Amino acid sequence: IKIILILRDPSERAYSQYMHNRRDLREPLDFEAAIAAEKQRMQDNWHFDFFYVDKGFYYHQVKAFTQEFRHVKILFFEDFESNPGKAVEEVLEFLELPMLESLEEVKKRNQSGEMKVKWIKRLMSDRTNPILNGIRKLMSRKTRKQLRNFVKNTL
C-alpha cells in the first residue's frame, strides 16, 4: 500500500474550510468567532469540520501514517498550485507509473466561497419548501448532489 498525503498551509486550510462551511450554510459565526469557539466545540463533540485550527496541526496525523505504512509520500498543496506538472510527475514516480506526455490544464474544483446569489442560497437550504421536496423525490441522490455542486460552484 502506498499513501499520498497532501498538506496545505495550515492558515490557508483553516480559512478554506471555514469558507466551505459558510458556503454550505453550516457556519453562522464570523471567522474570528469560529476560531474562538473551537475549543468549546471540541469539548461539545462537534464534527471535526469545525476544528479549523486543530486540523492544521499535522504532526500527529502524519506520524500515524508514517508509523503504520512503509510507503508514504508527503506533498504540499502549494506545490500542486505553482507547478502541477512537477507534482504529478512526483506522484507518478512514487506510484511507479509511466510518465504522461502532457497534462491538460488543471481545473480547480470545489472551491470555497460564499454563493453570489443570496436568494438561491436561502432557497437551497430551505427544507420546508414543497417544490424542492418534490424535486428531491424525483431525482436520484447522485443527480441532486451534482446539481447542488453545480449551483454552489457557479452561482
Supply the pTM of this predicted model. 0.62
Assign 28 to helix, strand or coil: coil
Beta bridge partners of 5: 74
Domains belonging to the chain, first-starting first, are 2-110 (3.40.50.300), 115-155 (no CATH)
Residue 57: how many other CB atoms lie within 10 Å = 10
Angstrom distance (rounded) from CA 6 to CA 102? 22
Taken in order 92, 93, 98, 101, the sign of the CA dihedral is positive
Tell the residue number behind the cell numbers 497534462, with chain if given.
103
Determine the average pLDDT of the residues in 79-92: 90
Distances (CA, A) of 14 to 42, 49, 58, 137, 144: 15, 10, 12, 35, 28
Angstrom distance (rounded) from CA 27 to CA 48? 13
Cβ-proximal residues to 115 (8 Å cutoff; 6+ apart), any chain: 23, 121, 151, 152, 155
Angstrom distance (rounded) from CA 47 to CA 76? 25
Most confident by average pLDDT, 40-44, 139-143, 149-153: 40-44
pLDDT at 152 exceeding the cut of 80: no
Determine the average pLDDT of the residues in 61-71: 93
Assign 64 to helix, strand or coil: helix
pLDDT tens-digit readout, 69-84: 999 999 999 998 899 8
Confidence label for 116 from pLDDT (cuts 50, 70 and 90): low
CA of residue 92 relative to chain centroid, distance: 23
Amino acid at 81: E
